Amino acid sequence: MKAQDMNRDWIGTAQTLSQALPYMQRYAGATVVVKFGGNAMGDDAAMAEFARDIVLMKQVGVNPVVVHGGGPMINEMLEKLGIETEFVRGKRVTDKATIEVVEMVLTGLVNKRIVQAIMDQGGRAVGLSGKDDDLMVAEADDPELGFVGKPVKLNVRVLNDLNAAGIIPVVAPVASGTADGETFNVNGDTAAGAIAGALKADRLLLLTDVAGVKGPDGQVMTQLDAAQVKVMINDGTIAGGMIPKTETALKALRDGVRAAVILDGRLPNASLLELFTDHGAGSIIRGDQSG
């Protein structure tokens, strides 16, 4: 590469950093909950890039909290162990044997891999689950589905303590039950939304494998309010797997989150694009027209 081209690249980098300054100032001290999942979890390069973005957030004064899923890894382990899966209305039944595998994979393999990735990028991270310090207590969402839970009580003190100490929390969506000895698997998006609401987070970022919420014309809508989302769910514009994601966003808004974003986690540096540029990386949903 010629020296002139190299200089142009470095000037472009400096300009990008300068343009990002107002956004960095705007989010300094803000809490941002990031739900991490999808294809990026199984790709080493994508995992490293995600971790670098999270470390950069912390470096510029944002307080990130990572909540992750791990469905493909759970499926792989169940298959290896020869544990058959039963489905009711298209949803997995989580029996006693399955919940033990879920806890092992999410709190062990997946959680620690994300923690290590953040550490490798120079950050400080601690992995925990909803069972630690009663962070998340759940009850059965549907008795037919077994140990699949919905959060009913949150205690986010440990997350605030970790962030205050300069440590990035990485949370596996496994929760204690209301009865002694119970363990529940909580949907990753649901757990992230509940935690964001309890923290009164400035932003909830739901990283997905789609570009965002699409309108009637099939184009991604970059900005929506809660009323629009409700109409689009009712008229069928929002359908399938996007319904629970938008419902999670709406509940988070009701619980005090300033805005929720459904964004394309396949894009390089998606979280940074959303927070620190005008461009954004998905669909931002607000309770009103502020924020």
Confidence of residue 8 (pLDDT cuts 50, 70, 90): low
Chain-wide mean pLDDT for the chain? 89
The stretch 35-53 carries a mean pLDDT of 86
Q: What is the mean predicted confidence (pLDDT) over 246-275?
A: 92
Whether 246 shows a pLDDT value over 90: the answer reads yes
- Within a domain: 79: yes
Q: What is the pLDDT of residue 290?
A: 46
Between 28 and 253, the more confident residue is 253
Q: What distance lies between CA 77 and its chain's CA centroid?
A: 22
Spell out the alpha helix ranges (H) of the chain.
Answer: 3-27, 44-59, 71-81, 96-104, 111-120, 157-164, 188-199, 226-234, 242-254, 270-276
Rg, Å, the chain Cα set: 19
Q: For residue 105, give its domain range.
A: 67-201
Give the chain's domain count.
1
- Give this prediction's pTM: 0.91
Instruction: Report d(CA 228, CA 243) in Å as an integer.
Output: 13
Instruction: Tell me if 35 is assigned to some domain.
Output: no
User: Does any domain span residue 175?
Assistant: yes
Measured CA angle at 16 (ends 15, 20), to 5 deg: 115
Inter-residue contact 288 to 255 (CB < 8 Å): no
Residue 106 in domain: yes
Does residue 117 surpass a pLDDT of 50? yes
What is the percentage of the chain residues whose pLDDT exceeds 70? 90
pLDDT at residue 291 in the model:
47
Alpha-carbon span 245 to 2, nearest angstrom = 47
Mean pLDDT of 131-156: 94
97-121: average pLDDT: 95
CATH number of domain containing 151: 3.40.1160.10
Does residue 254 lie in a domain region? no
For residue 49, tell me if it sits in a domain. Answer: no
Yes or no: say if 41 and 104 are a contact pair by the CB < 8 Å rule: no
